[in-house]
C-alpha cells in the first residue's frame, strides 16, 4: 500500500458527499460521486462525519477519545485515512487536490442491488445464522457473472496453460469454477467484516478444517523463523486470520490490493480497540522485505503470496531482477523476494493454501517443509523460488478453478 501523503495534526480533508447505511457496529459508506463503498465501524462513521465537517485530524482524535474513553494519542486514524484515500473519497487535502479515482465498472443497477439489497441481506444472514449456512446462502445469492472483458481474460489465461485439460469442455468447466471462486472470495471478505466477533472467532478457530499444523510446529521449533508461501488460491485472504484465531502470530506481505489492504488494517485496528485482537500484521511498502527479515530473525512466521503479475511499472521484469519459473507447462515471471528472504535468514519454507470444500466448507492445508536441492551460491535464491512454485503447483493442480489469477495469467507468462 502506498504511503499516506504528508499529514499534520492540523490537516483537513475535503470529502466527497456520501451515504451511510448499516446498524450496530458495521456500516457501509458509499461515495455518492463515484459509487465506491467502504465498510467501517460506528467509530469509523463518526470519524468520517467529523472530517467531512472540516475538523482537523487532531480535533477528530480528541472527540473520538472523549466519546470512547481513550486518550487522543491512542486513536489511530491511519487505517481509515488509507481507506478513504485509496477508495477515492478524498477530494483535497489541506487545499491541495488529490488524484481522483476512475468510476467503478459496475452497472448502476447492479451497484444499487449490491449495496442496498444483497449486502444488507448477507450481513443479516452472517449475524443471525450459523456461519456455514450463511455462507451457503451468500454463495447462491451472489450469482452474478463477470463482465465480458473479465470472461475473455479468464478464458485466454486458461488456453495458455498446456498442462490443464485443453479440451473446450475442460476449459469451460474450469472457467465456470473460476467465476464461482470470484464470488466466494467476495462473500468471505464480507463475512470477515459482518459476522459478530465472537461467532467469527469461533468459526475461524474451530470450524475451519486445518491439516498440517504439525509441519508448522516442527518448522517453528527450529528457531529460524518460518516463511509460509501461498497463491491467490481459494479463500487465500482468510489464511492469516485462521492462524491468528488459533493464537499463531503471522506477518503478511502482499496478497491484497490497496483498498482491500486498508480495509483489513482498519478491521484489525477495530478488533484491537474492542479487546478482541488478532496477532496479524500487514507489512507493506518498498522496505517490506527488510521488515520481514527482522520478523524471521526473531523466529516469527511470515506469509507471502507469490503469484503477482509483473505489471509495467519500473521497466521489464527481467530488468527488475525477476526470474522465470515453471508453472503448468509454461514459464512465468516471479519476483525473487521469497528466495532472498530464505537465503538471508535460513528460515523454513512451507506451502499453504485455503481451499473451499463442498458447499460452504473451508480447508487450510499446510505442506511439508520445502528443501531446495541445488545450493550453489550463485543461484541458491532462485532455486528456492522454483522449488516453492513446484510445491504450490501441486495445490493448484488439485482444483485449478479455485485459482483467482486466471484473468492475469496471460500477463504473467514469460517469453
Mean pLDDT of 327-332: 94
Q: How far apart are CA 213 and CA 277, in angstroms?
A: 22
Q: Say if CB 164 and CB 401 are below 8 A apart.
A: no
Mean pLDDT of 182-188: 84
Residue 217 pLDDT > 70: yes
Mean pLDDT of 289-294: 91
Buried b (16+ CB within 10 A) or exposed e, 12-26: bbbbbebeeebeeeb
Mean pLDDT for the chain overall: 84
Residue 377 pLDDT > 90: no
Residue 99 pLDDT > 90: no
- Strand order of the sheet with strand 226-230? 209-211, 361-366, 348-357, 226-230, 301-305, 250-253, 280-283
Q: How far apart are CA 17 and CA 32, in angstroms?
A: 6
Residue 146 pLDDT > 70: no
Residue 313 pLDDT > 70: no
Lowest-pLDDT range of 161-165, 221-225, 331-335: 161-165
Highest mean pLDDT: which range of 33-42, 121-130, 381-390:
381-390
Lowest-pLDDT range of 3-12, 33-42, 246-255, 311-320: 33-42
Residue 408 pLDDT > 70: yes
Tens digits of per-residue pLDDT, 268-286?
A: 888 887 889 999 998 877 6
Task: Say how many residues make up the chain.
Answer: 415
pLDDT of residue 31: 78
Mean pLDDT of 342-361: 93
Highest mean pLDDT: which range of 127-136, 355-364, 385-394, 406-415:
385-394
Mean pLDDT of 201-217: 95
Enclosing H/E stretch for 7: none
pLDDT band (50, 70, 90) for residue 245: very high
pLDDT of residue 107: 43
Highest mean pLDDT: which range of 5-14, 183-192, 310-319, 389-398:
389-398
Its pTM stands at 0.74
Q: Say if CB 282 and CB 110 are below 8 A apart.
A: no
Cell of 49: 462525519
Beta bridge partners of 302: 227, 251
Beta bridge partners of 90: 15
Q: Say if CB 227 and CB 289 are below 8 A apart.
A: no
* Residue ranges covered by each domain of the chain: 13-97, 108-186, 206-412
Mean pLDDT of 103-118: 46
Residue 4 pLDDT > 70: no
- Strand order of the sheet with strand 26-31? 18-23, 26-31, 37-40
- Sort strands 18-23 and 13-15 into parallel, antiparallel or unpaired: unpaired
Q: How far apart are CA 167 and CA 267, in angstroms?
A: 43
pLDDT band (50, 70, 90) for residue 108: very low
pLDDT of residue 142: 60
Residue-wise DSSP of 60-114: HHHHHHHHHT--GGG---HHHHHHHHHTT-EEEETTEEPPP-PPPSS-HHHHHHI
Mean pLDDT of 330-338: 94
Percent of the chain residues past pLDDT 90, beyond the cut: 43
- Burial class, 306, CB count within 10 angstroms (exposed 0-12 / middle 13-18 / buried 19+): buried
Amino acid at each position: 500500500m502506498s504511503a499516506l501523503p504528508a499529514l499534520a495534526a492540523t490537516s483537513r480533508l475535503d470529502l466527497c458527499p456520501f451515504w451511510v447505511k448499516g446498524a450496530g457496529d458495521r456500516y457501509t459508506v458509499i461515495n455518492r460521486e463515484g459509487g465506491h463503498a467502504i465498510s467501517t465501524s460506528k467509530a469509523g462513521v463518526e470519524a468520517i462525519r467529523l472530517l467531512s465537517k472540516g475538523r482537523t485530524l487532531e480535533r477528530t482524535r480528541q472527540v473520538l477519545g472523549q466519546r470512547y474513553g481513550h486518550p487522543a494519542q491512542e486513536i489511530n486514524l491511519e487505517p481509515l485515512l488509507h481507506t478513504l484515500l485509496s477508495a477515492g473519497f478524498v477530494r483535497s487535502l489541506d487545499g491541495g487536490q488529490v488524484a481522483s479515482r476512475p468510476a467503478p465498472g459496475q452497472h448502476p443497477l447492479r451497484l444499487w442491488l449490491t449495496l442496498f439489497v444483497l449486502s444488507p441481506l448477507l450481513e443479516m444472514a452472517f449475524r443471525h445464522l450459523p456461519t456455514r449456512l450463511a455462507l451457503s446462502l451468500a454463495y447462491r445469492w451472489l450469482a452474478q457473472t463477470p463482465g465480458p472483458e473479465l470472461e475473455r481474460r479468464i478464458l485466454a489465461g486458461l488456453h495458455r496453460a498446456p498442462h490443464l485439460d485443453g479440451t473446450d469442455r475442460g476449459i469451460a468447466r474450469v472457467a465456470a469454477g473460476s467465476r464461482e471462486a470470484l464470488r466466494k472470495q467476495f462473500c468471505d471478505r464480507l463475512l470477515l467484516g459482518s459476522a459478530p466477533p465472537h461467532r467469527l472467532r469461533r468459526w475461524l478457530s474451530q470450524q475451519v478444517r486445518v491439516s498440517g499444523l504439525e509441519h508448522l510446529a516442527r518448522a517453528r521449533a527450529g528457531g529460524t523463523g518460518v516463511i509460509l508461501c501461498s497463491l491467490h488460491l481459494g479463500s487465500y485472504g482468510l489464511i492469516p486470520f485462521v492462524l491468528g484465531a488459533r493464537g499463531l502470530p503471522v506477518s503478511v506481505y502482499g496478497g491484497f490490493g490497496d483498498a482491500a489492504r486498508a480495509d483489513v488494517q482498519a478491521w484489525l485496528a477495530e478488533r484491537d480497540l474492542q479487546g478482541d485482537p488478532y496477532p496479524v500484521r500487514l507489512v507493506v511498502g518498498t522496505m517490506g522485505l527488510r521488515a520481514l527479515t527482522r520478523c524471521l530473525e526473531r523466529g516469527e512466521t511470515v506469509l507471502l503470496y507469490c503469484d503477482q503479475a509483473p505489471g509495467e511499472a519500473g521497466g521489464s521484469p527481467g530488468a527488475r531482477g525477476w526470474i522465470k519459473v515453471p508453472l503448468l507447462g509454461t514459464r512465468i515471471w516471479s519476483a525473487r523476494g521469497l528466495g532472498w528472504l530464505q537465503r538471508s535468514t535460513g528460515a523454513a519454507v512451507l506451502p499453504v493454501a485455503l481451499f473451499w470444500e463442498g458447499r460452504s466448507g473451508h480447508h487450510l492445508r499446510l505442506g511439508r517443509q520445502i528443501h531446495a536441492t541445488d545450493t550453489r551460491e550463485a543461484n541458491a535464491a532462485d532455486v528456492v523460488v522454483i522449488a516453492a512454485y513446484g510445491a504450490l503447483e501441486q495445490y493448484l493442480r488439485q482444483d485449478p478453478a479455485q485459482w483467482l489469477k486466471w484473468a492475469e495469467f496471460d500477463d504473467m507468462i514469460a517469453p
